Structure 1
Amino acid sequence: MRMPVEWQPVQQSRTHELVLQSIEEQVFAGKLRAGDRLPPERELAPVFGVSRSALREALRVLETIGVLVAQPGRGPDSGARIVRNPDDALGRLLRLHFALGSYGLHDVLEARVALERSSFSAAAHHADAADLDEAEEVVRRMSEPGILPEEFNELDTRFHVKVASSSGNALTSTLTSAVRESVRPLILRALEAVADWPATRTRLNAQHAELLRLVRSRRGEEAADLAEVHIRGFHGTLVDENRTGDAVEDGGGS
């Protein structure tokens, strides 16, 4: 039987952070779960002993990190509700920290290699036909004549995320999506700068097709090995460029 949520007043210093801490404690204790609604602001602020503006600041932070959604209005669906939505939030945070230089290209490369080796290997054992059919359709669209780098990059991201989501590991999927999203703008600029875009596109997509064939054939270790070669190719070139200052002209994988 679930224990009732017990709201307690918080201290006035750094008010919104203390409100956050109090809500986090209720989640950690299992008293707040995904789907639960918070009391209305007019009721919750006096219970915490804080202003409604401080409460709203705390709720905005929770909404930004993907654990709360707020619906304005007075209807039955209005108010703040606890949710599970880590994918967009993690991607947003990683993109910002990457842009700020919190993580180097080499660190992101190694994280991608570890994550995608795991996801391709696991997908070979756990992916169902529907997931692989969807990934194959993405590969087909990437092979269409005249496709430009921007659309190719979007589909490339979708392919890698789809394989990760079919691996049976939700955390691996979320982290793969966040890491791949964090470097998408940089990869796009590199794709736009290659000397021979049609040849590069053809080579990259040949690797995508082979990766998918290996996953369908349940050859997980081979798929993991090729995924590493694929990622270290193009992404690895970006790391080399960052270290030497040379221009990126071509690459082996995205």
Structure 2
Amino acid sequence: MDPTDIGFIPVGPRRTFEGAVEQIAERVRLGELSAGDRLPSERDLAAAMQISRPTLREAVRVLADAGVLRVRPGSAGGTFVASSYVPIELLRSKSDLRLGEVAGVLEARRLIEPRVAQLAAVNAREDDFAHLARLIEAQKALLDEGDVLAHEDHFLQLDTQFHVRIARATGNSTIVSLMRTLLRRLEIARDLALHEPPTAPWVIDIHERTLAAIRSADHDRIDEVMDEHLAAMERAWERATDRMLVRPIPDFMLPVAARSRDQRSSRTPAR
């Protein structure tokens, strides 16, 4: 596995140990590394992050102690992902976003993510659809356990992975990189401003309808389901903060239903 394929970058001179832990943890949390996957070799991974091999070993040890990685000795060994679930506490940068920036994150999501889903509909392969379906089934399994709140972070992590996989289905590495950044900040936004738990059956339902819309390659249908999906978090943020997102917004960012009404009105002849 080439470490650059899943976005490993230089850690930099400051906080190298914490940065290495965070990068590996984030790749697992975003679903770009799954349980059973083998990490790049120690030499390649340390070179990609531009850190020393002892620093990388210490980061791997911390992640192994947390149950995220497993180190297998021997000629057929290596470092493997032991669990697809990563506790949010391992991502130390989650406090970097200020409350006032959350509105910008939500507006950026509305601008970008529906177009990402539409491009995914054009380029997605069958294994992309299968992976999205598996993520939905994993959420259903948590719901079937009876207490989603006890597994809330895991449930939300699967939600994030669902959206990352849509981005990967576009086949565009620039879009994947943009969506990684946006989704990481969305997780922070949820921590900062949204204090109500997600309604698990609704999340599962909207994911199923999103998958069906992308499979259909019907761009109007994708717009409709993505509008509903995005509006839920926007309304929750507005309720939590007693603030409104910026209005008016450009026509291409309006909800589909409102845009359709406006178009129909413009076609109605004057009497």
Tell me which interval the TM-score lies in, with the shorter structure as reference length: 0.5 to 0.7
Q: Does the aligned pair in 2 maintain the 1:62–1:68 contact within 8 Å?
A: no
- TM-superposed CA distance for 1:171, in Å, is 1.7
Counterpart CA distance in 2 for 1:97 and 1:228 is 28
Tell me the secondary structure at the aligned position of residue 159 of structure 1.
helix
Q: Does the aligned pair in 2 maintain the 1:121–1:220 contact within 8 Å?
A: yes
Counterpart CA distance in 2 for 1:94 and 1:110 is 21
Cα 1:159–1:105 shift into 2, 3 Å: same
Counterpart CA distance in 2 for 1:220 and 1:135 is 18
Deviations 1:182-208 (A, max 9, x none): 2314436877634xx6xx211121111
Counterpart CA distance in 2 for 1:95 and 1:173 is 20
Q: Which amino acid aligns with 1:181?
A: R
Name which one, 1 or 2, has greater alpha-carbon Rg.
1
Q: How many residues align?
A: 165
Q: Which amino acid aligns with 1:153?
A: L
Tell me the secondary structure at the aligned position of residue 70 of structure 1.
coil
Counterpart CA distance in 2 for 1:162 and 1:59 is 28
TM-score (norm. length: structure 2): 0.52
Q: Which amino acid aligns with 1:216?
A: R
Cα 1:242–1:191 shift into 2, 3 Å: closer
**2:223 maps to which residue?**
224
**1:70 maps to which residue?**
51
Q: Which amino acid aligns with 1:105?
A: V
Deviations 1:94-125 (A, max 9, x none): 84541x45x52211101111221111000100
TM-score (norm. length: structure 1): 0.55
Deviations 1:64-89 (A, max 9, x none): 6987422347xxxxxxxxxxxxxxxx
Q: Does the aligned pair in 2 maintain the 1:106–1:239 contact within 8 Å?
A: no
Q: Does the aligned pair in 2 maintain the 1:122–1:220 contact within 8 Å?
A: no
RMSD: 3.3
**1:236 maps to which residue?**
235
**1:42 maps to which residue?**
none
1:121 aligns with 2:112: no
